[in-house]
C-alpha cells in the first residue's frame, strides 16, 4: 500500500489508476471501516482510503483532542484489506490557511445531529468536497451508521452535480448488537455492557412500527425515557422518512428509519434501524 501525505504526490500516484473507489475516514479503524474497504474493491480499479481527523466538524465541546489516533495499526489493517493507496495529510496540507469557503447543508438538516452538533455537517461536507477534489474518485463509500451524514453527502453530490456515486455500507455490529464505532473506546466496562440497549430499543421500535403501531411520539418518548432511566442522556430518538429524514406525515409515509443519539458516560453514541415498507405502508 502506498501512503501519501502531500496532495501533489497523491495526484501523481493516482494518474492512470482507472476507476477510483474512495473511503474517507478519520482513522481508528474497526471492522465497519474494513467492510467498506472490501466493498470498495467491487466498485473500482483502485481503492483509496484517507485518514484525517477533521477539526472543522468538531464543536468546541466535542472530542477533537482526545479522538483516538492509531495510525500504525490503521495502516496495517488497510494494507491487509488490500487498499491500494492511503492519503494521510497533516492539517497543514489540508488547511494551510483557515478554511474560509464552506459547504453549508440546507436548514432542513439542522435537526437530529444537525441540531445537537451545530456546524458539524458543514464541517463534514466541506472536508469531503475537498477530499473529493483531491482524490477525484468515481465512487465514494460511507457507513450507514452515520445515516444523516450519508444523506447530507448524497444530496451534496447530487445538487452540486459531482460525478461521484455515493454508496452506503451496512452498519457492522458487535455480537450483542452495539454498532461498531471509534467512540465505543470511551466506554468503561460497565458502560460497554449497558451500550447494546440503544440498538435493542431501536429494534423494538422498528418491530412495533412494522406491526402497525402508529403512535410514533409515544414510541420515541418511551425509548428516550428508558435510556435516561438507565444512566443515558438522550439527545433524540426519532422516527423519520428514509428519503429525506423529515417527520412522516402519516404512518404510511414510509419507508421509515428510527434514529437515536444518546450519551453514556463520556461517549456520545448514535445508531439507527431502517424499517422496510411493508404491506399497507
State which residue, 25 or 171, has the beta carbon closest to ligand PAF.
25
Residues forming contacts to ligand PAF in the complex (CB under 6 A) are 24-26, 54, 57, 124, 127-128, 146, 149
Q: Is 172 annotated as a binding residue?
A: yes
**Nearest distance from C-beta of residue 226 to ligand PAF, angstroms:** 28
Q: What's the CA gap between 126 and 129, in Å, rounded?
A: 5
State which residue, 152 or 260, has the beta carbon closest to ligand PAF.
152
State which residue, 156 or 201, has the beta carbon closest to ligand PAF.
156
**Nearest distance from C-beta of residue 269 to ligand PAF, angstroms:** 14
Q: Is 2 annotated as a binding residue?
A: no
* DSSP string over 223-258: HHHHHHHTTEEEEEEEEEETTT-PPPSSTTS-SEEE
**Nearest distance from C-beta of residue 280 to ligand PAF, angstroms:** 36
Name the residues annotated as catalytic.
33
Q: Is 143 annotated as a binding residue?
A: yes
State which residue, 123 or 248, has the beta carbon closest to ligand PAF.
123
36 with 113: CB under 8 angstroms? no
**Nearest distance from C-beta of residue 26 to ligand PAF, angstroms:** 4
Q: Is 272 annotated as a binding residue?
A: no
Q: Is 175 annotated as a binding residue?
A: no
Q: Rg of the chain over CA atoms, in angstroms?
A: 19
Cell 445508531 -> residue: 271
Q: Which residues are annotated as a binding site for beta-alanine?
A: 57
Q: Which residues are annotated as a binding site for ATP?
A: 26-33, 143-146, 172, 180-183
Q: Which residues are annotated as a binding site?
A: 26-33, 57, 143-146, 149, 172, 180-183
Amino acid at each position: 500500500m502506498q501512503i501519501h501525505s502531500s496532495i501533489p504526490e497523491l495526484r501523481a500516484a493516482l494518474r492512470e489508476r482507472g476507476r477510483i473507489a474512495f473511503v474517507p475516514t478519520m482513522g481508528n479503524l474497526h471492522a465497519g471501516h474494513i467492510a467498506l474497504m472490501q466493498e470498495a474493491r467491487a466498485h473500482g480499479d483502485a481503492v483509496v482510503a484517507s485518514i484525517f481527523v477533521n477539526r472543522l466538524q468538531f464543536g468546541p465541546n466535542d472530542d477533537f483532542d482526545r479522538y483516538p489516533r492509531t495510525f500504525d495499526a490503521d495502516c496495517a489493517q488497510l494494507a491487509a484489506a488490500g487498499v491500494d493507496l492511503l492519503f494521510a495529510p497533516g492539517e497543514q496540507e489540508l488547511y494551510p490557511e483557515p478554511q474560509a469557503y464552506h459547504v453549508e447543508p440546507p436548514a432542513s438538516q439542522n435537526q437530529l445531529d444537525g441540531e445537537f452538533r451545530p456546524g458539524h455537517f458543514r464541517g463534514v461536507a466541506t472536508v469531503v468536497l475537498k477530499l473529493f477534489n483531491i482524490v477525484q474518485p468515481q465512487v465514494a463509500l460511507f457507513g450507514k451508521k452515520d445515516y444523516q451524514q450519508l444523506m447530507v453527502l448524497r444530496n451534496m453530490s447530487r445538487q452540486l452535480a459531482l460525478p461521484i456515486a455515493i454508496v452506503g455500507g451496512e452498519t457492522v455490529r458487535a455480537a450483542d448488537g452495539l454498532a461498531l464505532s471509534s467512540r465505543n473506546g470511551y466506554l468503561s466496562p460497565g458502560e460497554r455492557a449497558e451500550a447494546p440497549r440503544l440498538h435493542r430499543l431501536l429494534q423494538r421500535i422498528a418491530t412495533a412500527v412494522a406491526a402497525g403501531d402508529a403512535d410514533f411520539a409515544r414510541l420515541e418518548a418511551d425509548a428516550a425515557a428508558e435510556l435516561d432511566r438507565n444512566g443515558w442522556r438522550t439527545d433524540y430518538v426519532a422516527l423519520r422518512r428514509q428519503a429525506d429524514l423529515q417527520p412522516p406525515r402519516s404512518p404510511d409515509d414510509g419507508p421509515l428509519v428510527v434514529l437515536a443519539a444518546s450519551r453514556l458516560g463520556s461517549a456520545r453514541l448514535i445508531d439507527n434501524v431502517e424499517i422496510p415498507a411493508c404491506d399497507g405502508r
